[in-house]
């Protein structure tokens, strides 16, 4: 948060609104909510909110061939592909199975044994299981199982559209050793299609800032170079004031568009019209704050 004690409200109202910040700078200082909005509020969206775990960003990443320039930013996010039943308030509950036949109907297939973590410290194992949605009692139960014991839990896979599928049962076991390390293994019992991975997979995609002074083809060529360097079919283009034909062209080329105008809210602030009710300066006319990463205007619209 940046403040200026030399800007009383009477003078500040006469000052014109600062120019929109440089998008790369806005990316570099963006908070977690903004990084997530790049994924959820672009058109078309990259992922649904409940499919996103942790998110990080790197700015000014060189392309493999330095002569070709650099990527404006690389966004790395944890793409969640299955959720533990009942692991958070909005998560689906445990499946309601009344008899053994119903259980057999949704668990006729089983996967091979897979290793989730090998020879990691107990602290790492606890953190991994906690991130997956297990509570502290369940974590300790898994880590203290007897040699032939399994922890059984119900999970739901997510489709490509973000919808929940038929539940599956996951069996987890642990092997703890005298040197203080631990190995975690699991296998799944499911109806037809095997769940992907354990819980999530890291994904990288480029974020490109639109250059209005070059042609559509040159902008798209830069997007394609960035995608090629990360071996991903997806990309986000931060742009504004595109023609309808350009919008359609980018979307047809599998480029997700994010309005550059949204970046203004990252740095330019007005406490009087901010919707952050938890902030003590919210609604204060005489606030000295000129720039704030948590600023959210009341009437923000895309």
Q: Is 293 exposed, middle or buried (0-12, 13-18, 19+ CB in 10 A)?
A: middle
Asked if 98 and 106 count as a contact pair (C-beta separation under 8 A), the reply is no
Is a pLDDT exceeding 90 seen at residue 149? yes
Return the pLDDT at 264. 59
Is a pLDDT exceeding 60 seen at residue 13? no
**At 52, which helix (H) or strand (E)?**
strand 52-62
Question: Which of 28-42, 137-151, 182-196 is predicted with the least confidence, judged by mean pLDDT?
Answer: 28-42
Percentage of the chain beyond pLDDT 90 is 44
Report pLDDT digits (tens) over 98-139: 899 999 999 999 999 999 999 999 999 999 999 889 999 999
Who wins on pLDDT, 165 or 19? Answer: 165
Distance CA 275, CA 246 (A): 33
Return the pLDDT at 21. 55
Closest to 84 in 3D by CA, of 151, 173, 25, 37: 151
Q: Which two tokens stand for residue 267?
A: 């740095």
Is a pLDDT exceeding 60 seen at residue 17? no
Q: What is the DSSP string of 206-257?
A: EEEE--TTS-HHHHHHHHHHHHHHHT-S--EEEE-S--HHHHHHHHHTT-EE
Is a pLDDT exceeding 90 seen at residue 300? no
Return the pLDDT at 64. 82
Angle at 296 between CA 299 and CA 254, to 5 degrees: 85
Asked if 131 and 152 count as a contact pair (C-beta separation under 8 A), the reply is no
Is a pLDDT exceeding 70 seen at residue 36? yes
Query: CB atoms < 10 A from the CB of 243, how many?
Result: 9
Report pLDDT digits (tens) over 45-91: 998 888 888 899 999 898 887 777 889 999 999 988 888 998 877 77
Return the pLDDT at 90. 72
Who wins on pLDDT, 7 or 156? Answer: 156
Return the pLDDT at 39. 93
**At 57, which helix (H) or strand (E)?**
strand 52-62
Report pLDDT digits (tens) over 240-250: 878 889 999 99
Alpha helices in the chain (DSSP H): 9-12, 23-29, 32-40, 100-106, 122-131, 136-143, 216-230, 244-252, 264-267
Assessment of whether the complete model's pTM goes beyond 0.85: no
Helix, strand and coil percent figures for the chain, each rounded to 5: 30, 30, 40
Distance CA 219, CA 242 (A): 12
Closest to 42 in 3D by CA, of 254, 225, 221: 254
């Amino acid at each position: 948060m940046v403040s200026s004690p030399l800007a009383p409200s009477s003078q500040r109202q006469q000052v014109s609104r600062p120019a929109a910040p440089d998008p790369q700078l806005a990316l570099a200082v963006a908070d977690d909510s903004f990084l997530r909005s790049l994924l959820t509020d672009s058109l078309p969206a990259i992922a649904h909110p409940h499919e996103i775990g942790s998110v990080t960003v790197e700015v000014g990443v060189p392309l493999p061939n330095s002569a070709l320039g650099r990527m404006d930013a690389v966004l790395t996010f944890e793409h969640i592909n299955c959720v533990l039943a009942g692991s958070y308030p909005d998560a689906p509950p445990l499946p309601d199975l009344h008899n053994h036949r119903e259980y057999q109907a949704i668990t006729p297939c089983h996967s091979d044994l897979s290793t989730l973590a090998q020879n990691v410290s107990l602290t790492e194992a606890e953190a991994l299981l906690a991130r997956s949605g297990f509570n502290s009692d369940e974590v300790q139960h898994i880590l203290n199982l007897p040699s032939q014991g399994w922890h059984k839990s119900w999970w739901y896979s997510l489709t490509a559209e973000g919808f929940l599928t038929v539940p599956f049962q996951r069996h987890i076991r642990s092997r703890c050793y005298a040197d203080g390390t631990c190995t975690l293994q699991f296998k799944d019992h499911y109806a037809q299609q095997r769940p992907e991975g354990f819980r999530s997979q890291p994904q990288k995609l480029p974020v490109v800032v639109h250059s209005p002074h070059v042609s559509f083809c040159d902008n798209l060529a830069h997007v394609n170079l960035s995608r090629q360097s990360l071996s991903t079919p997806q990309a986000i283009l931060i742009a504004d004031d595109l023609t309808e034909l350009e919008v359609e062209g980018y979307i047809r080329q599998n480029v997700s568009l994010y309005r550059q105008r949204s970046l203004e809210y990252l740095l330019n602030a007005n406490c009087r019209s901010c919707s952050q009710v938890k902030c003590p300066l919210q609604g204060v006319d005489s606030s000295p704050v000129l720039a704030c990463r948590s600023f959210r205007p009341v009437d923000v619209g895309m």
